[in-house]
């Protein structure tokens, strides 16, 4: 049975560095982000890494890997997600999928999807909606 979880991950640090300039206006960057959660049924530490493309018009596209370690409800363990997203100049939106076989501990066998949609008004939080199944 699919469970639904709504939480906010607190952004503890965000280190984003450019690694390639594109023509004269765009760039590629890499972001390392540390997060924590203690609401909505998730108590965890998390991090994600994203590769981003800023084409120079105030928007961005990105791909990400995220690792979450802690508790979902009364079950402890960790799992990883992969996803992609966009930033339209106002809202960053990403869609992620639990990486098969990435669950550990009592989260072994977890599967599911997540969506995050946030604006600058959400800072220092990143809302996360997770739909998941556990054996």
Measured between alpha carbons, how far is residue 63 from residues 29, 52, 81 in Å? Answer: 11, 7, 11
Report the distance separating Cα 61 and Cα 22, nearest Å.
14
By the 10 Å C-beta count (0-12 exposed, 13-18 middle, 19+ buried), 57 is classed as: exposed
pLDDT at residue 44, as a whole number: 97
Collect all residues with Cβ–Cβ distance below 8 Å to 108 and sequence separation of at least 6: 77, 135
pLDDT at residue 23, as a whole number: 84
Residue pLDDT, tens place only, 83-124: 999 999 999 999 999 999 999 999 999 999 999 999 999 999
Q: What share of the chain is helix, strand, coil (3-state, %, to 5)?
A: 0, 75, 25
Residue pLDDT, tens place only, 38-47: 988 999 999 9
By the 10 Å C-beta count (0-12 exposed, 13-18 middle, 19+ buried), 53 is classed as: middle
How many CB atoms are closer than 10 A to CB 87?
Answer: 18
Q: Which domains does the chain have, with CATH numbers?
A: 3-133 (2.40.350.10)
Residue pLDDT, tens place only, 36-80: 999 889 999 999 999 999 999 999 999 999 999 999 999 999 999
What percent of the chain is predicted at pLDDT more than 90?
Answer: 96
Phi, psi of 27 (to 5 degrees): -160, 160
Do residues 27 and 21 touch, judged by C-beta distance below 8 A?
yes
Q: What is the dihedral of CA 128, 36, 64, 56, to 10 degrees?
A: 90
């Amino acid at each position: 049975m699919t469970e639904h979880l709504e939480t906010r991950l607190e952004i503890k640090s965000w280190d984003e560095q450019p690694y390639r300039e594109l023509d004269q206006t765009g760039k590629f960057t890499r972001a390392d982000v540390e997060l924590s959660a203690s609401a909505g049924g998730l108590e965890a530490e998390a991090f994600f890494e994203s590769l981003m493309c800023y084409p120079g018009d105030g928007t961005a596209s990105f791909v990400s890997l995220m690792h979450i370690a802690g508790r979902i409800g009364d079950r402890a363990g960790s799992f990883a997600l992969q996803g992609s997203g966009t930033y339209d100049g106002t809202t960053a939106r990403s869609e992620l999928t639990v990486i098969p076989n990435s669950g550990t501990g009592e989260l072994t066998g977890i599967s599911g999807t997540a969506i995050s949609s946030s604006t600058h008004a959400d800072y220092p939080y990143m809302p996360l909606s997770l739909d998941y199944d556990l054996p």
